[in-house]
Amino acid sequence: MSENTDTRTYLVVLNDEEQYSIWAAGRELPAGWTAEGTQGTREECLARIDQVWTDMRPRSLRERMAATAG
């Protein structure tokens, strides 16, 4: 299936490390992932991720780096 003919609906999902991905709507989410609240086409969901995921480092790494910097 090419990207141009993908008519599925997707969800933006988030894990405990605050990392984002997309997941096909209607499928059970994998363990450790929760729906972020955005639903739409693949392109819409990827655009949302681009908008909100500005720091690609896992949360635990960001917290460790902040603790050692302070």
Give pLDDT, residue 31.
96
> pLDDT tens-digit profile of 28-42?
999 999 999 999 999
What does pTM read for this prediction? 0.81
Gap between the Cα atoms of 24 and 10, Å rounded: 4
Q: Domain count of the chain? A: 1
What are the angstrom distances between the C-alpha of 70 and each of 18, 42, 64, 66, 67? 22, 40, 10, 6, 5
Other C-beta atoms within 10 Å of 10: how many? Answer: 23
Gap between the Cα atoms of 17 and 66, Å rounded: 15
Whichever domain contains 18, its CATH number is 3.90.820.10
Q: What residue numbers bound the domain in which 43 lies? A: 3-69
pLDDT at 2 over 60: no
Pairing of strands 10-15, 20-24: antiparallel
